[in-house]
Amino acid sequence: MTPERCLENKVVKIMDGRTGPGHRPVVPIVALTVWFCVLAGWVPEGASQDPRPQAIVEKAFPHSNKCKRCHERVFEEWELSPLSKSIHSPAFRASLDLFLKSPGGKDKSLCFRCHAPHVRAVADHVQLFIDQTMSGDPSLDGVACSQCHLIKQVDRAKHPPEPNYETDSKILYGPYKDAVQNLAHQSKEADVFQKSDLCLNCHQSVPSAANLGKANDLLGDWDKSRAVKVGRECQYCHMPEQVGESANGEKKRKVANHTFPGRIGKLRQEAAKLDVQTNVEGDKTTVTIKVKSLVPHNLPTTHPGWATVILNLEIKGKNLTTVFTDNRIYGRTYLNAKGEKTVFDFEAVKVLDDTVLKPEETRVETFSFPTPKDTRTFDVEVTLNYGPITGPPSFLERVEAESSKGSQDLVFQPIEIVRRTENVPVGK
């Protein structure tokens, strides 16, 4: 008997008058009948449904907590990485709120295509991603295990490149030929895990209100860099090899690091080098600084819109008193539709100024100032830092208020890349 016929017969019995002593009340019987038919896989038209969107999403993309049971080392590394905070950070939450209220906010999934890329495969549930992010403490994964290891291949013909997810099997993909067999899932080698293609579906585009030019705008012409020409893919720097175990108790071997070093971590110290030359000519001194980018992509990458790298020069004279300061800012300045400056690239309709260091570029900067007086020597201090977050006061206040660390949150702090100091004689 079909669920439909089942319900029909029950209702007929109720409606034929047999509701006196010895019979259950009508309403409970109907309720029980509907529940029985729900269990049978059918819900009558007009009945309320609870699709449990998070359960649906996590059935296709298992939560990282499930992976932790067997891959504890990898989980702990990932948990320290920026990827684990992709939908958790106050800066993202505040930016998402502004985006959804903007003219471009009708495309609700835009931000999540990078911050929670599996939204592409479960687009009907984008509201779940929004609600979870806005809660401030999402239990949903953003960029975690499933979001990468269910990718079978990446379509580079599309822009941005499109990941092809395989969610209808228990196969997880990775770089190993000799994956250990287990009862949790099947493992299969995929070439994409040794290629930059894996990263490009998120790290190859900038959300903007207009076409701002280059297709691979976020990274610059990385594919023409010397690093790529000698076969160095993104993983070479951002998932460096180490010796360890992939799964708990497994024999140690070469594995990939999952902290994804970059702006955070020691890798940034290899991002650039400085060459400083100081020339004292009487009352005038000139400092010439060569800033050499060592990375095969833009420095900084052009998203988020407030991303900058700042070159600071400080001159200290007698008693280490600062007598001169100046800087150069490498980044991008946008204009919105009203002709106003904005750090929100989703509002951008025009690039006002672009000083981003291109892949492996050398930039020469010259600073001139009066030679410090009443001292035999002076100190030249040069630092190259990742700049702190910038934006309208209301935006910054919200980020600070929602951060557990307040103004001490790392986003408000400059992060040093490289520093050079020297003591310079004034001369006779």
What integer is the mean pLDDT of 302-309? 94
Which of 133-142, 219-228, 357-366 shows the lowest mean pLDDT across its residues?
Answer: 219-228
- Specify if 232 maps to a domain: yes
CA count, 13 A, side-chain hemisphere, 215: 9
- Specify if 278 maps to a domain: yes
**What's the Rg (C-alpha) of the chain?**
29
- Specify if 317 maps to a domain: yes
CATH number of the domain that 412 lies in? 2.60.40.2360
User: Which range of residues forms the domain containing residue 377?
Assistant: 270-425
Domain match, 251 and 295 both: no
Q: Last residue of some domain: 256, 291, 314?
A: 256
What is the average pLDDT score of the chain? 86
- The helix/strand/coil state of 368 is strand
Task: Specify the pLDDT at position 132.
Answer: 96
Domain match, 190 and 61 both: yes
Domain match, 31 and 117 both: no
Query: What is the tens place of the pLDDT at every residue in 192-228?
Result: 999 999 998 898 877 776 556 554 578 888 889 999 9
What integer is the mean pLDDT of 239-252? 91
Domain match, 324 and 414 both: yes
Domain match, 250 and 283 both: no
Q: Distance (Å, rounded) from C-alpha 109 to C-alpha 116?
A: 9
- The helix/strand/coil state of 98 is helix
- Specify if 72 maps to a domain: yes
Nearest Cα to 348, choosing from 366, 360, 363, 333? 333
Cβ of 18: how many Cβ atoms within 10 Å?
9
- Specify if 276 maps to a domain: yes
Nearest Cα to 74, choosing from 261, 246, 215? 246
Q: Distance (Å, rounded) from C-alpha 96 to C-alpha 131?
A: 11
Domain match, 179 and 233 both: yes
Query: What is the tens place of the pLDDT at every residue in 167-194?
Result: 888 899 999 888 777 888 999 999 999 9
Does 1 have pLDDT greater than 60? no
What integer is the mean pLDDT of 301-319? 95
Domain match, 168 and 310 both: no
Residue scoring higher pLDDT (4 or 69): 69
Query: What is the tens place of the pLDDT at every residue in 33-74?
Result: 333 333 333 333 333 344 589 999 999 999 999 999 999 999
Does 356 have pLDDT greater than 50? yes
Task: Specify the pLDDT at position 184.
Answer: 86
What integer is the mean pLDDT of 74-83? 95
Cβ of 71: how many Cβ atoms within 10 Å?
21
Question: 395 is written with which tokens?
Answer: 């935006």
With bands split at pLDDT 50, 70 and 90, how would you rate the model's confidence at 3? very low
How far is residue 224 CA from its own chain's centroid? 24
- Specify if 131 maps to a domain: yes
Domain match, 166 and 202 both: yes
- Specify if 333 maps to a domain: yes
Query: What is the tens place of the pLDDT at every residue in 15-29?
Result: 333 344 444 343 333
- Specify if 126 maps to a domain: yes
Domain match, 57 and 174 both: yes
Between strands 362-370 and 377-386, the pairing is unpaired
In the chain, the number of structural domains is 3
Place of tokens 């902290």: 259
Cis peptide upstream of residue 300 (ω within 30 degrees of 0) = yes
Q: Last residue of some domain: 233, 256, 279?
A: 256
Q: Distance (Å, rounded) from C-alpha 17 to C-alpha 28?
A: 16
Task: Specify the pLDDT at position 38.
Answer: 34
- The helix/strand/coil state of 345 is helix
Domain match, 229 and 329 both: no
Q: What percent of the chain has pLDDT over 70?
A: 86
Domain match, 238 and 156 both: yes
Residue 365 contacts residue 328 (beta carbons within 8 Å): yes
Task: Specify the pLDDT at position 4.
Answer: 40
Q: What percent of the chain has pLDDT over 90?
A: 70
Task: Specify the pLDDT at position 36.
Answer: 34
Q: Last residue of some domain: 256, 289, 321?
A: 256
With bands split at pLDDT 50, 70 and 90, how would you rate the model's confidence at 358? very high
Domain match, 64 and 14 both: no
